[in-house]
Amino acid sequence: MSATSRLSLPLLDAGQAQKEVTHNEALALLDGCVAACVEQRALASPPAVPVTGKCYIVASGASGAWAGKADQLAIATEGGWRFVIAREGLRAMVASEGIDAVFRGGAWVFGEVRASALVVGGDQVVGAWTSAVADAAGGTMIDAQARATLASLLASLRSHGLIAS
């Protein structure tokens, strides 16, 4: 039987008997990986009583029915466990934490957001770094409170990664 190149979903063959079996298998896999939601971060062993429709990320060194399935999505179905091999860009929400997971560079990355800009209400509020803001220096009249406030503001912006150090 042939399969799709990205998610390895089973394809129907010409003249195949019981096409519904192959079709239903593909739908079960899609049901688990499209807009995926996993219960928690990677687990090394399957739950004792799997709930149909629940998904998990299989951890390294997994045991039992998950042995040898590291980094795959495990989907509990009425017919047993189904697995989807993680490919670059596969995403899932981690329900227990409310964070996203993405398969990037051969591993699952949890809770990391990457963007070129943050736009709120149509206004860009955070973007790529510009040149560093210089500390206050020089001048003929020194205002210690103003300098302390500016230094504190700059330190805060730097610690949050909003401006370069």
Contact indicator for 38, 49 with CB cutoff of 8 Å: no
Give the global pTM.
0.68
Measured CA to CA, the distance from residue 123 to residue 46 in angstroms comes to: 45
Q: CB 22: neighbour CB atoms within 10 A?
A: 18
Measured CA to CA, the distance from residue 97 to residue 24 in angstroms comes to: 31
Measured CA to CA, the distance from residue 63 to residue 95 in angstroms comes to: 23
H helices of the chain, where? 19-33, 144-159
Measured CA to CA, the distance from residue 115 to residue 155 in angstroms comes to: 23
Q: Which pLDDT value is given to residue 79? A: 85
How does pLDDT run along the chain (165 residues), one tens digit per residue?
A: 687 766 667 777 777 788 877 777 777 767 667 778 999 888 999 999 999 889 999 999 999 999 999 999 999 988 899 899 999 999 999 999 999 999 999 999 999 988 888 888 887 777 777 777 777 776 666 688 788 888 888 888 887 777 777
